[in-house]
Structure 1
Amino acid sequence: MVLRSVKESDNGDYRLTVNATGVSAQVSTNHTLHALEPVANVTLRASDSSPREHFDAVVLTCSARGTQLQRDWLFHNDPVRANYRITIAGDTLLIARVQRTDTGWYTCIVSNGLNNESAETFVNVYRKYRDAQSI
């Protein structure tokens, strides 16, 4: 059996029954179909692209279309790992009490086994007590 142009709406349980001609035998099997839609429209947004060190938090949100999406986060092309200041959950990465060393490019790579796409954004952390006229 071949299914062509499968869509996510085709997902579900299917039962295949084969009747052998001239034999009183019947074979049945059940299968579950999980169709994937490709990753598309990946965007990465920062809640604050100019936060103050040791004071502000930044939430990065990685949005995408597709099914069964997996997200990987990079900072300066290195994997981001959760720690006491960094929380990764679903499509968000939270950096609590940002530090100057958090300044740089963040990348979100979204994949699902069919394809992957990425988006990036720059966060520039300022000193906590910056002069308003120097901004």
Structure 2
Amino acid sequence: MKRVFVNEEWCLGCRLCEYNCAFANSGKKDMAKALKGKPMYPNIRVEGDDKINFAVSCRHCEDPLCVKACISGALHRKDGRVCIDKTKCVGCFSCIMVCPYGSLSVGENGTASKCELCLENSCGEPACVKGCPNRAIVYEER
């Protein structure tokens, strides 16, 4: 299964992956209108310091702890991906606490949020990959 991988040595820390992710998952057609003056809720996050930057994204684990910890059944596996049904999420954030990679976060409506590889919003490939100017983020099988 293809997954998002980050080559830390190439990451500039520009955060364009965050903007592209937030826009792709906003449901809007115009990025300026979608993100202007509103909090941004990307499903990928750039972390780092003066020496290294890297993007944190869901690893779509084979045996995901987040799915096991989900008390409402909102998290589930679908075609090898870990997906979330936000209508079932009760906001307990057990998934956030157990994820060993720190890839889940609180979303726009107070529910858990995570990367679903942009396959649900018909981008074809993850928006973070498309928008990375330095090709630090790749979508491939390893």
**Normalised by the shorter chain, which TM-score bucket?**
under 0.3
Structure (1/2) with the larger helix percentage: 2
Structure (1/2) with the larger strand percentage: 1
Which TM-score applies when normalising by structure 2? 0.25
**Bigger radius of gyration:** 1
Q: Which structure exhibits the higher relative contact order, with contacts defined as CA atoms closer than 8 Å and separated by 6 or more residues?
A: 2
